[in-house]
Structure 1
């Protein structure tokens, strides 16, 4: 199979790195392009046999699977531009949440899937959120899922949980990274620890924390119970967090879902719905 990527920004590049690290696709079977073509050539410096296409139509005509890694509102104009070069045997894969597979299928004459990645895929870990169009063939569906398993854990989801699932899987590293950075900065301000030392300790804690969960030693509630000894320091810290956290996560979910609905409406306007 020949794979293509349109859009080699942050997530496009992360996917390519994950594929290369896990041998999902051979370099010479990967075709890439980007609006700023220098970004595509920068990737080729790391993977010399990757094919850079300066024209999108040339890329489309070469590949079996086409990953669309552009912003949501850029997808519809792009699909209109490449429509005449698509065939029914090809499969388009979108990585963005607000553009549903149903909408994709209404535009293109080929098979369709949505595979939402995470930055954790760069470490050949984490989850890929999968949704498939009604016309996708079982062989293609199985091939995509098996490919995802090489660098992540694929999880098939329904449209009604797309946003919250993406919040957890894709946005989660940034959300919890932000909280960790706030904790580090406050630790530096309130105590004698340096930011460098606090950062190093936090990073190692996260690695060990993930390992405990990955190896099945504890669930999240069990882990909290084990550390939170009755009458101990951790318990006091949990009380302080519980008192201060308020509606933080309610507001977070409302914010991401409002943006999601806004993007869906803009996409609907593009499609004259």
Structure 2
């Protein structure tokens, strides 16, 4: 019998996870959304997605319940469904701002926090995992096998989630922002348009990813491309002199934003 995944909240992340698991074809997926039309639209896109009438129905149907609501709704939802969850079930929350220990006070189920990324749309990339106290090694391996259908699971301590999600969950946007800034700077030379520069950078970025996928490391690429005294070396001196401060400030800002109670960016903007 196929594993049954229930997803409560079909916003950007909940909807993406539902479609990714459904397209993998190895699990039954049930969804519930407070705004029913959003769940119906999702089910129309993917025939392997089934509609649930309520959050309680998701709990009854599913082996794994993914809570992917707004952070402001998460506590109310867990208070409503927590005592209906059995110890054999798993609750995976995408809400980064509610501690695992707090979620465990609402339910006897095994609790885990997951931080997905937009790259799971293509069923690839890192998906961060932080386990609650009720997971043993065998259960972790089973859960990561499920995540492996759509991602590369990477387990971290809860205290590491912020900085790691900067690189994995926020990372695609940060990298896209860097490419956009580079394209704009290139266009300001007067020798190329911004659109042309974006095209060149996009193709170079994809090709660099292919090199890394082939087994080369970041260090290998730096070594192979950089000739001492050459143009690349001159450019890297600028990168080395300026980039560390940029990324230090980036991590400081995301940490400050998180400390003020804002949800992890992938959760922000979701609707249920």
What SS class does the counterpart of residue 11 from structure 1 fall into? helix
Give the CA deviation at 1:173.
0.9
What SS class does the counterpart of residue 130 from structure 1 fall into? strand
Q: What are the within-5 Å matches in structure 2 for residues 10-25 of structure 1?
A: 10-25=12-27
Mapped contact 1:72–1:263 kept (Cα < 8 A): no
Q: What are the within-5 Å matches in structure 2 for residues 82-93 of structure 1?
A: 82-93=81-92
Greater shift in the superposed pair: 161-170 or 227-236 = 227-236
2:249 is matched with: 251
Greater shift in the superposed pair: 32-41 or 251-260 = 32-41
1:163 is matched with: 162
* In 2, Cα distance between equivalents of 1:21 and 1:201: 32
Does residue 235 of structure 2 align to residue 237 of structure 1?
A: yes
Greater shift in the superposed pair: 115-124 or 170-179 = 115-124
* In 2, Cα distance between equivalents of 1:194 and 1:138: 53
Give the CA deviation at 1:208.
1.0
* In 2, Cα distance between equivalents of 1:250 and 1:200: 29
1:104 is matched with: 103
Give the number of equivalent residue pairs. Answer: 261
What SS class does the counterpart of residue 169 from structure 2 fall into? helix
1:268 is matched with: none
- Name stretches of at least 5 consecutive residues in structure 2 with no aligned partner: 264-272
Give the CA deviation at 1:18.
2.1
Give the CA deviation at 1:220.
1.1
1:187 is matched with: 186
Residue by residue over 1:15-70, the C-alpha shift from the partner in whole angstroms, topping out at 9 and shown as x without a partner, is 12321333341xxx211122322221121111124212242222222212100112
Mapped contact 1:97–1:166 kept (Cα < 8 A): no
Mapped contact 1:92–1:113 kept (Cα < 8 A): yes
* In 2, Cα distance between equivalents of 1:213 and 1:207: 10
Residue by residue over 1:137-181, the C-alpha shift from the partner in whole angstroms, topping out at 9 and shown as x without a partner, is 655433211111222221111122121111111111111111111
* In 2, Cα distance between equivalents of 1:75 and 1:191: 51
TM-score by length of 1: 0.87
TM-score by length of 2: 0.87
2:203 is matched with: 204
Give 1 or 2: higher helix fraction.
Answer: 1
- Name stretches of at least 5 consecutive residues in structure 1 with no aligned partner: 266-273
Q: 1:84 to 1:243 in 2, by over 3 A?
A: closer
* In 2, Cα distance between equivalents of 1:20 and 1:136: 25
1:269 is matched with: none
What SS class does the counterpart of residue 260 from structure 2 fall into? helix
Mapped contact 2:83–2:108 kept (Cα < 8 A): no
Q: Which has the higher contact order (CA 8 A, sep 6+)?
A: 2
Alignment root-mean-square deviation, CA = 2.2
* In 2, Cα distance between equivalents of 1:264 and 1:184: 31
Mapped contact 2:31–2:50 kept (Cα < 8 A): yes
* In 2, Cα distance between equivalents of 1:256 and 1:53: 36
Mapped contact 2:83–2:107 kept (Cα < 8 A): no
* In 2, Cα distance between equivalents of 1:105 and 1:188: 53
Mapped contact 1:111–1:137 kept (Cα < 8 A): no
What SS class does the counterpart of residue 2 from structure 1 fall into? strand
